[in-house]
Amino acid sequence: MTQQTSDGTDGVSRRKFLVGAGTAGMLGIAGCTTNPGASSGNSGGSGGGNGSSGNGSSGGSGENLSGEVIVKGSSTVYPVSAAIAEEYMTNHDVNVSVDSTGSGGGFQNHFCPGNADINGASRAIKDSEVQLCSDNGVEPVEFQIASDALTVAVNNEADWVDCLSFDQLAQIWKPDGAQTWSDINSDWPDEEFELYGPASSSGTFDWFIENVIGEDGSLRSDYEPTENDNRIIQGIQGSEYAMGFFGFAYYEENRENVKAVQIKENADGNCVEPSIENAKSGDYPMARPLFIYAAQSSLEEKQQVYSFMEYYLNQAETDLVSEIGYVPTSTELRDENLSKLEEYSGN
Amino acid sequence: MATGHDGPTGDWFGNSEQISRLPGKVFAATCLAATLFGIVMVAGLLVYVTKDAIRPLTANPGWFLVFFLTLVVPSTALLAYFGRRRDGEATVALTALGIPFFGLLLGSGVLMLFIDVIGIFEWLAFVAATIVAVGVILGHRRVRGRTSFLEELLVGVVALVGLGPVTYQFISTFPTLPQAWLIYLFTFGLGGAAIAGLLVARRRNDRRAGLTAFTALFVTVTAGVFIDPSTGITPPVWVILFTFAAIPTALYAEGVVRRRQGSLPVGLFFPFVVVAGMLVGAVLVDLLGFAGPQAWLDIQFLTSANSRFPEEAGIYPALIGSILMMVVVAISSFPIGVGAALYLEEYAPSSGPLSVVVKFIEINIANLAGVPSVVYGLLGLALFVNWLDFASGIVVVGGMTVGLLILPIIIISAQEAIRAVPGSLRQASYGMGATRWQTIRRVVLPEALPGILTGSILAFGRAIGETAPLLMIGAAASVFRAPNGFFDIFSAMPRQIYTWVGQPSQEFQYGVMAAGVVTLVTVMISMNAAAILIRNKYERRS
């Protein structure tokens, strides 16, 4: 009992102290208040950064863009999209994420089901994919944003081969075709090919079949398919009798590691080496267009997607693209793209 | 030992020399070889990757010489001296260096979260809501005493589900709130100082000492707020780093001083020698113009987003993404895993026809632990994205998918830990009249907790390195902004490393990738170290 009473008296004085200190504290703090709704930007320290992003989401009109843009698709287009996204985000408060899923993988799993705004493709969209998209109420709008010089490469030691025609390539890569180098040319070594190429989800795979082997052909099944182009280069480096093909950007970074083969369209054509200039002039027979597809509904409804696309199409004409290793669009193509964008966005 | 004695009697089988010691020796040697092989392989890989990340060969030899003389020589000499004294001073020295180091690491992590993820006003509202809810529960207990379980449960639910969120809403829509620095000061600074004060008071059994400690710490942290922000030490940086690094260090130093009444705890000066060595080295290197290594792994790498230029590429958004993902993983898998293990071990029938079903379930859980991670990725895609309609590639989906992946591992290890609790302990508890629930709560769980934590730590270590499920649920290759919350798109560290490996340029494939790997391994090791410390604490108590 005594314990309790002494506790009681102690408690009263402490309570008084607490009330006094609390009141004084509240009065003191009242001078240091701020209104998070109105002006959180000047609340000092890092609070400002959070406040402004919070404000951005509420006022999404005009220049004050926010939200997300989701880009999926081709691993060949990925470097272009990633570079443009990086540049775009330095002065826009929009969160652009870029993923590399392969052209077909992007259409199949992300873009057509409606989970992505933009899909990169290293070949034109297939009819089956258009069908899949429209089943889900997604209408793809096509823009060509660059060209690539698809490069066929062999080992640095393979000094016998400098130039190949489409016919020879088709013989090497089609099912039940040539097995050894000497099958193509009797002067070449009697050694089996070691082939590295893109996997079937890749647009490069589709383009090669359609343009080199023939519309309804296919690739032989006994090559090493991979989604990772660096694997192809490593494979070629590893064997004297290896061969593979990939986007020019990867060759540009590996000029010392592998040897690019010149290409001629038919037996009596000119051999042309892969380069940005040759792809631009149209001399290089394996130059191919690179596309991005935007979902029309995203263009219409999401301000940030429209804004990013506008920036993308403008940048696709600049040196940004050639620094990556692709051919930029011409001025005419850019203007055509921009008017197409206007038309489909309904702005 | 006893052979010499037993020998002459002639009956001991060892004398016939039919038993050779060779097999045992060969076996021991094989085991040693296997251990060494494993350690050397892993260490070799880590050294190789670290070499690529730091690129020590790009540094001027003078740079190494300067730091060798200012940092390595004095600190090794001091440590060797402490070691020769054999009075535990070396341990004190290393702990005194380790606590502020890990405190700074943890503090930087918290700081990152506050700069990018959590809004300061949301934080205030969250703290207020927690205080209100806990206050109501404790107040109820104080006023009503120990009442029925149902009443306590009801009050708890009302406080946590009702009052907490209401307070949160109220505060976050309140027109005027204290400025940011005040919030930091009163949530972190005041809280840290109060906990330190309570600890000191309890350790010394002296309220006045506790109050002094509290006042001293709080005055220091308040004073630091008024440092000129142009020095880079803004109020949040100061308050959070002080709370996480300085307060634990001060507490440790206090403990050492208290135990060594009289003799000077010289070990505490070790961190000063190290820091002074670094500073002197840095100044000298600057004066003499020796260039350091052009490391890929530097402050710039840790604080910036991915870029197409290797020199500008960084891991920051992926780092934050990984941390947020691990929060979701822990919240989603640990309670479910431990709950399932408790049920299977303590409640599920172990005899009768139903025990067959239980056995079947247990075998299936064990099998699930071996299912490839890609399959879990597909499961996550189907379950969370396609069926539950979450957006693909957001933090919650990634976290829950990886959580599913480690769930069987947590269940199995928790089961093992619970099974290892001796049956006699349970019987003793029952014998004293405890119910099954009381036995589980007061005897089985505390006894099994260290084991449960060990298993979970290993599982979390696996979770933070998983790539395949993230690929499946659509975590993007390049995310340039750190996620602002659990429903934002994100990229995690292993996903980012995978992206770099696929990039055309060599700098990305070898340099930037290596820096990413070292960061990932460092985060994983510090996570495990922290968890192991927690576990050891529990182990000692039980």
Contact A78 B477 (CB under 8 A): yes
CA A168 to chain centre: 32
Closest in B308, B392, B501 to A86, CB measured: B308
The predicted pLDDT at position A51 comes to: 36
Q: Do B477 and A37 touch (CB under 8 A)?
A: no
Q: Could you identify the residue written with the tokens 């109420």?
A: A137
A95 → closest Cβ in B182, B235, B481: B481
Neighbours of B36 (CB within 10 A): 10
According to the model, what pLDDT value does residue A7 have? 45
**Nearest-CA neighbor of A133 among A115, A150, A151?**
A115
Q: Which residue has the higher pLDDT, A217 or B56?
A: B56
Cβ–Cβ < 8 Å for A161, A188:
yes
CB B483 within 8 A of CB B393: no
Look at strands B478-479 and A258-260 and give their pairing: unpaired
Count of CB atoms situated within 10 Å of the CB of B166: 13
Residue B151 has a pLDDT of 80
pLDDT at A56: 35
Q: Is the pLDDT of residue B101 over 80?
A: yes
Average the pLDDT over each of A276-280, B3-7, B404-408 and give the range with the smallest value: B3-7
CB-CB contact of A150 with A247 (8 Å): yes
With tokens 């089985």, the residue in question is B444
Least confident of A35-44, A161-170, B205-214, B444-453: A35-44
Q: How far is B377 from chain A (nearest CA, A)?
A: 14
- Chain A / chain B CB contacts < 8 angstroms: 136
Distance CA B532, CA B460 (A): 12
Q: Among B175, B489, B509, select the one facing A97 at the smallest CB separation.
A: B489
More confident site: A151 or A227: A151
Percent of chain B with pLDDT over 90: 32
* DSSP secondary structure letter of residue B268: G
Q: What is the pLDDT of residue B541?
A: 55
Q: How far does CA A28 lie from the centroid of its chain?
A: 54
Q: Phi first, then psi: give them for residue A151, nearest 5 degrees.
A: -110, 130
Compute the average pLDDT of residues A10-38: 57
Q: Which uninterrupted H or E stretch holds B97? A: helix B89-112
Residues of chain A positioned with their CB less than 8 A from the CB of B114: 46
* Best mean pLDDT range from A70-79, B98-107, B287-296, B402-411: B402-411
Chain B: give the shortest CA distance to residue A212, in Å: 25
Cβ atoms within 10 Å of A162's Cβ, excluding its own: 13
State pLDDT tens for residues B130-153: 888 888 888 888 887 767 778 878
Cα(B503)–Cα(A252) distance, integer angstroms: 12
Residues of chain A with CATH 3.40.190.10: 65-147+289-345, 151-285
For the ranges A4-8, B308-312, B491-495, the one whose mean pLDDT is highest: B491-495
Question: Which of B108, B187, B381, B480 is most worth mutating to test chain A (most A CB atoms within 10 A of its CB)?
Answer: B480
Task: Give residue B5's pLDDT.
Answer: 52
Model confidence at A44, pLDDT cuts 50, 70, 90, reads very low
Q: Name the pLDDT band for B73 (thresholds 50, 70, 90).
A: very high
Assess whether pLDDT exceeds 80 at residue B373.
yes
Percent of all residues in chain B with a pLDDT value above 70, rounded to a whole number = 96
User: Who among A37, A45, A100 is closest to B175 (CB)?
Assistant: A37
Please check the confidence at residue A5 and state whether its pLDDT lies above 60.
Answer: no
Provide the pLDDT confidence category of residue B421 given band limits of 50, 70 and 90. Answer: very high
Query: Residue B2 corresponds to which tokens in the numbers above?
Result: 């006893």
Q: What pLDDT score was predicted for residue A18?
A: 62
- What Cα–Cα distance (Å) separates residue A243 from each residue in A88, A156, A172, A194? 38, 11, 10, 6
The ipTM estimated for the assembled molecules is: 0.76
- Tokens read off for A189: 């070594």
The CATH code that applies to domain B310-541 is 1.10.3720.10
User: Is a pLDDT exceeding 70 seen at residue A43?
Assistant: no
Helices (H), strands (E): how many in chain B? 26, 2
Provide CATH code, domain A151-285: 3.40.190.10
pLDDT higher than threshold 50 for residue A38 = no
pLDDT at B17: 61
Q: Are strands A262-264 and A163-165 parallel, antiparallel or unpaired?
A: parallel
pLDDT band for B174, please (50, 70, 90 cuts): confident
B321 to A98, B5, B394, B414, B496: CA distances (angstroms): 15, 68, 9, 28, 10
Q: Are the beta carbons of B391 and A35 separated by less than 8 Å?
A: no
**Alpha carbon distances (Å) from A95 to A50, A87, A90, B138, B316:** 15, 12, 11, 44, 15
B293 band by pLDDT with thresholds 50, 70 and 90: confident
Question: In this complex, is the C-beta atom of B304 within 8 Å of any C-beta atom belonging to chain A?
Answer: no
> A-chain residues within 8 Å CB-CB of B499?
100
> Superfamily assignment of A65-147+289-345 in CATH?
Periplasmic binding protein-like II (3.40.190.10)
Q: With a cut of 50, say whether residue A311 has pLDDT above it.
A: yes
Q: Which amino acid is it at A145?
A: I
* Residue B541 C-beta-side C-alpha neighbours within 13 Å: 12
Query: What pLDDT is stored for residue A39 in this prediction?
Result: 37
Q: What is the spatial distance between Cα A86 and Cα A72, in angstroms, rounded to a whole number?
A: 15
pLDDT of residue A47 exceeding 60, the answer is no
Q: Under a CB-based contact definition with an 8 Å cutoff, are residues B321 and B491 in contact?
A: yes
Per DSSP, the three-state class of A102 is: coil
pLDDT exceeds cutoff 90 at B531:
no
pLDDT at A57: 36
Neighbour-count burial of A145, counting CB atoms closer than 10 A to its CB (0-12 exposed, 13-18 middle, 19+ buried): buried
- The residue assigned the tokens 């995310």 is B479
| pLDDT tens figures, A180-205 | 888 888 888 888 888 888 888 788 88
Q: How confident is the model at residue B343 (pLDDT cuts 50, 70, 90)?
A: very high
Model confidence over A66-118: pLDDT tens digits?
A: 888 999 988 888 889 999 999 999 888 888 999 988 888 889 888 998 889 99
Q: Give B256's pLDDT tier (boundaries 50, 70, 90).
A: confident
| Mean pLDDT over the full length of chain B | 86
pLDDT at B426: 92
Q: What is the pLDDT of residue B134?
A: 87
Alpha helices in B261-394 (DSSP H): 270-288, 299-303, 316-342, 354-368, 373-380
Q: What is the average per-residue pLDDT within A265-293?
A: 86
Contacts of A68 in chain B (CB under 8 A): 488-489
CB A178 within 8 A of CB A172: yes
Distance from CA of B503 to the nearest CA of A (A): 8
- Asked if B500 and B512 count as a contact pair (C-beta separation under 8 A), the reply is yes
At A21, is the pLDDT very low, low, confident or very high (cuts 50, 70, 90)?
A: low
Quick check: B417 pLDDT over 90?
yes
Burial B472-493 (b: 16+ CB within 10 A, else e): bbbbbbbbbbbbbebebbbbbb
CA gyration radius for chain A?
A: 30
Phi-psi region of B233 (alpha: psi -120 to 50; beta: other; left: phi over 0): beta
Task: Summarize the confidence of residues A37-52 as an average pLDDT.
Answer: 37
Beta carbons within 10 angstroms of residue B2's beta carbon: 8
